[in-house]
Copies of this chain bind each other. A is one copy, B any other.
């Protein structure tokens, strides 16, 4: 029982900091996206394609979460956007306090769109509010179409699902419609995009939608 009480306290403490992060970011009219997925589903690749489309139109900042390396931060830094790396040193998710610290290193007056790329993990990050406007979950077609049923909490807590690696559909046993239907069974309110970060297919639609959400903030 002790353990459960302490876990609850950890989450309560996290939520308190998340509320502060949200107040700060909302006050500055920043659209904040918490990008979540399994390892290798394409969070960083999609972020790169998104930067290609939007970086000259919108001031974007990035917080990169990683267990051990700064590989992803180096990838997105090439696009000349401000990026802060959080290394969790083995922890399986980002927490609001880590994001709060990272926000201190960014010029929020020069940010309209903030991406927080979480640790690659389809389970644990679902439980942690970071103060974002929404979680965007990326599901790779190569993971199969049953993942929303098997990892429901992430799909329930996300506002948007991006089905990525659509270019590989001809070569694999995954039905994109089944994947969509399984996701909508868990969360009927999900907004769904289909993209290939490799070919760029679908990225423009996703970026236009992001621009709309930013314009609503004004």
Which A positions have Cβ atoms within 8 angstroms of B? 2-3, 6, 10, 38-41, 66-69, 71-72, 90, 92, 119-124, 140, 142-144, 146-147, 149-153, 165, 167-168, 171-173, 198
Contact = CB atoms under 8 A, between A and B. Distances in A.
Contacts of A198: 172-173
Contacts of A150: 39, 66-69, 71-72, 120
B151 A39 contact: yes
6 cross-chain pairs, A with B, having the tightest CB-CB distances, nearest first: A40-B143, A92-B123, A142-B142, A38-B39, A38-B38, A39-B122
A142 B2 contact: no
A80 to B, nearest CB: 22
18 contacts: A2-B6, A3-B10, A6-B6, A38-B38, A38-B143, A39-B122, A39-B143, A39-B151, A40-B142, A40-B144, A67-B152, A90-B123, A92-B123, A119-B123, A120-B151, A140-B142, A142-B142, A167-B171
A93 to B, nearest CB: 8
Contacts of A172: 168, 198
Nearest to A10: B3
A64 to B, nearest CB: 11
A20 B119 CA distance: 33
Contacts of A173: 198
Given A2-B6, A39-B147, A67-B123, 13 more contacts: A6-B6, A38-B39, A38-B120, A39-B122, A40-B140, A40-B144, A71-B146, A119-B123, A120-B151, A142-B142, A142-B165, A168-B172, A172-B198
